[in-house]
Chain A
């Protein structure tokens, strides 16, 4: 079977570019993603396996030196994003009760960066994303326009907007529209 051509990964937003004065919209690089569900009491064992401390505070995230990112989505739910290693591999050996489901391809992400990044994301999202309430490192599962998204603030002027792949066209369109007035 050596002649089977290996299927290539095609991201839903591949090749899209967008933005306006003050903000750039970039499709995020392909990543491994895991939806992790577990009793928070088992966070320690899971943290050890994952190589970072699972955040247990609402609306927070954690990141390790290898670029692995974990967002708190609920008392027993985390979203793990890793552009290099596969978190599932690390979780296989964990004996503590948990559910780890591969959602690498379910989600895709848009990176929003620049002076107008916050205003661009805020335009479609009723949650308060201000520096005071939503500082760097914050994460939230919320709505943007008519879809569900996970918003992570990765730097002062950088946001990562995660959404399901079939909603990514809408998300990119919403952000492109919002970008036009991000310096208001």
Chain B
């Protein structure tokens, strides 16, 4: 027998299929199909943890997803361990390890329980009021201490070894909830020919039939009918039934997130299976059949282990075959708790009394109780309870006052009525409406293509609810476009259980004073008095009450507490309940793991890593890579014994003395084609393109509308109507969008098309005095002589037998080429060029050397020497702005008063007086180093390097009216010293530019 409290012949589990699991340090036995909660209860264990704030002993309140108390640490090993798992939904598997939380040193004796004794000091808003002074102490003392003491459970420290799947699914009808109405809606929709997805968070469908065993549908017990219908649905091609699958988020346009727990219930899951699946469903129609959640009664000390919802006790009995106690008291304001009592009594459990706050409960129920020998105490209340780690007795008395009586119990089941689960409806942006007659919030108008059916819609009568659900399912199918198909006739249904009776707010035993602990929100330890206090302190909106008390703000989102909290606030404010308002339900309905949300997007798939066609060669030749956006770019190629500095110095020297090869494939490239191509470029760049002949290139600057530099690059004219545009590496996608945007919105009259060719071409820059010697023997059909192909020209021909667009251009100041070849040939052509380069003493160089070489020539890098507030004039690039063009993007922005006024920061060269000092990029520049702090900063360093070729450091920076300061001394104050600098020209090497034409 798996547990002393298992009742022979009760429940739906197979007693022979036993499992073993560990709870703290005990090995316990369970039956296959048990939840952790039912298995613990079968073993007589109610105490599962300590509460969040007061560390009060707590046990299972519910048997479902609404559980606020029984949160445990569950796992199969050290790396597969998850905190805060609700014991009421976690199925037991053989070998499962579970631990209680929020207790030290042990569950039974917990030092944190002192908080309970000190609780008068921990009233609502305590933290807001107490830790105000001294202000500095909050960050250093109060917050760290409070944070360490707060929080529930311990996050795992190991990486998650499992994998998670993602599926996008599209269907005609999504049915959320597999109870009687959900199944009816799904079957009706499926019969009408719709593609249907039905999800239910439990291991099996059946919904309320888990506890309600006195219902029949079509003459069969409700549970059997549910299983039969589910089998029927599973067998249909147009239906997908997902159990253990929670709909947690209802987003715009019927996009509903489901999380399916695939292996969390298995002892030895197939490692190829994902641990969880995220289903992102886009449904034409959604049927919400989420049922209702029972509320607890709010009275003094209503949180002792052993006190739980009546429907939960009935589920443990009827589904799991477990009695929650030997002597079970009943406290209710709702009919359904009576049926729970009857079931317990008939199973042989002692039920000393049913206490009903209503003075005149249904006579039929009273008669049935009498028949079973259960004492009925109508118009009475449970005023208090006793018991330390488990409830021992209940104190009962008339709601009107008078004498009281203690009744010994070892469990107390309760019901204050049922709250329709409007979470999904509310998440769909629907506004709930107060139903005066039944005193509850119900779905109002549907704002998306959805409909609510069953208990979540307030449909109390089972027979009517099933008929309505079948109709809704059929209509949803038709609305989703189903034409054919038959109507499914809902069978007759009836039940002995009534869910009538509704009590909101505190009961007689909740006390009006400030010491009684009558819990409203178990998970956040919020009591009735806390809510009263909040109102007294001026919180009149439920949103304020909620935040002041934290009622409903725990991970259970107040599934059992919201309505009670609202009712107490309304009573205090003397306002009708709907006027106080209801807080908004947010996704997720129940907690969702990061694993499910992230699914594939981790490790290598977190973000794409882009590599050039020659990446493998760089890697094989020892390149160190740097990340440039998503690209991996070769940074430098250290040889044995070289550090970065030495490698870069060698590369810089070699390029100017011999030659170097550089992978420039990541440069953005756009093919601009059409008769109006030149006209379009005239509008997008500051330069003029009309006179650029085919076969020639030009450096172009692109501005934003505001007149600031947006991007730059070399543009080659391949033909009258065809340009090869290059952009910066980082600018490639945005420049393409910028151009396309203007083409479509501002210049749609132009006949021109843009195509991204960034990845069509591998680009090999060969730069230096021996560049031509390296390239020439491999090229066919192009005259490389200076006369035939001068600096800034482009030719088409062949290299290594494959097509090339060969650019004569330079970003180093040396004569050189940029060899463009179709990308798949990149590696082969690189290798062929390298064979020649290496033999001639050239080197491969990376992005660091490229940066140094261009800085030696004063070539800017957009985004480094510019920051989005730099005009062409600021950057000394006025020569690239056409003076006669009537229009281009940024032409008006450039003329704004602030952009033409004096006092703008201009790009200049900066030479340290001590040539050995390399300035820090970003360092601030001042005119007078002896002024008081804060100093007036007149500029900053944008680029700074050691230049091996110059034999000294070089730098560029922007300085107020900098060009007029050439030859002047300025200062860069640093924490340890002040550096003297001289303002210079931006060109540090080959000022005449003769090397370009070599």
* Chain A residues in the interface with B (C-beta under 8 A): 1, 4-12, 20-21, 30, 35, 37, 76, 97, 99-107, 119, 122-128, 130, 133, 145-147, 164-167, 169-170, 173-174, 177-178, 180-181, 184
Contact = CB atoms under 8 A, between A and B. Distances in A.
A4 B781 CA distance: 13
B166 A124 contact: yes
A123 B593 CA distance: 19
B277 interface: yes
B827 A10 contact: yes
A105 B272 contact: no
Secondary structure class of chain B's binding surface, majority of residues: mixed
Given A1-B777, A170-B608, A178-B600, A7 B755 contact: no
B611 interface: yes
A1 B759 CA distance: 29
A138 to B, nearest CB: 14
A166 B167 contact: no
B274 interface: yes
Contact of B755 (A9, A101, A119, A170): A101
Interface string B764-800: 0000000000000110100000000000000000011
Interface in B670-697: 671, 673-675
Most A CB within 10 A of own CB, among B611, B673, B761, B823: B823
Nearest to A8: B828
B824 A30 contact: yes
A170 B605 contact: yes
A123 B166 contact: yes
Contact of B753 (A99, A127, A167, A173): A99
9 contacts: A1-B780, A7-B828, A104-B760, A123-B600, A169-B608, A180-B163, A181-B167, A184-B165, A184-B277
Contact of A146 (B608, B611, B613, B780): B608
B612 interface: yes
B755 A103 contact: yes
Given A7-B821, A102-B760, A128-B282, A180 B274 contact: yes
Given A10-B824, A147-B608, A180-B163, A5 B757 contact: no
Contacts of A1: 777, 780
Given A4-B801, A10-B824, A177 B600 contact: yes
B715 to A, nearest CB: 16
A103 B759 CA distance: 8
Contact of A101 (B280, B673, B780): B673
A4 B833 CA distance: 11
B802 A6 contact: yes
Nearest to A3: B777
Contacts of B801: 4-7
A105 B780 contact: no
**7 tightest Cβ-Cβ pairs between the two chains A and B:** A7-B828, A6-B801, A166-B610, A99-B673, A37-B753, A170-B608, A99-B753
B822 interface: yes
Given A37-B755, A99-B674, A123 B167 contact: yes
Interface in B588-630: 600-601, 604-605, 607-613
Contacts of A101: 671, 673, 755, 757, 760
A38 to B, nearest CB: 8
Contacts of B168: 122-123, 125-127
Contacts of B760: 101-106
A125 B170 CA distance: 11
A181 B277 contact: yes
A106 B759 contact: yes
Nearest to A103: B760
Given A106-B757, A123-B165, A5 B777 contact: no
B613 A165 contact: yes
Nearest to A30: B824
Given A6-B801, A145-B605, A164-B759, 5 more contacts: A20-B272, A37-B753, A123-B167, A169-B611, A170-B604
A106 B822 CA distance: 8
B756 interface: yes
B165 A180 contact: yes
A12 B169 CA distance: 31
B166 A10 contact: no
Contacts of A7: 799-802, 821, 825, 828-829, 832
Nearest to A37: B753
A3 to B, nearest CB: 9
B824 A9 contact: yes
B544 interface: no
B885 to A, nearest CB: 25
Nearest to B803: A102
Given A124-B600, A184-B167, A106 B758 contact: yes
Given A99-B753, A106-B757, A180-B272, A6 B800 contact: yes
A164 B274 CA distance: 29
A134 to B, nearest CB: 10
Contacts of B536: none
Contact of A119 (B167, B601, B824): B167
Interface string B794-824: 0000011110000000000000000001111
B823 A105 contact: yes
Contacts of B575: none
Contacts of A107: 759
Contact of A145 (B169, B600, B799): B600
A87 to B, nearest CB: 14
Contacts of A30: 824
B800 A145 contact: no
A8 B274 CA distance: 41
A96 B588 CA distance: 56
Nearest to B616: A10
Contacts of A104: 760, 822
A4 B609 contact: no
A166 B612 contact: yes
A106 B800 contact: no
Contacts of A76: 753
Nearest to A77: B753
B257 to A, nearest CB: 12
Contacts of B604: 170, 173
Interface in B552-572: none
A30 B822 CA distance: 12
Contacts of B827: 10
B234 interface: no
A107 B150 CA distance: 53
Interface string B157-200: 00000010111111000000000000000000000000100000
A169 B609 contact: yes
Interface in B726-780: 751-753, 755-761, 777-778, 780
Contact of A106 (B166, B277, B756, B829): B756
A99 B675 CA distance: 10
A76 B799 CA distance: 34
Contacts of A165: 613, 759, 823-824
B780 A4 contact: yes
A142 B449 CA distance: 25
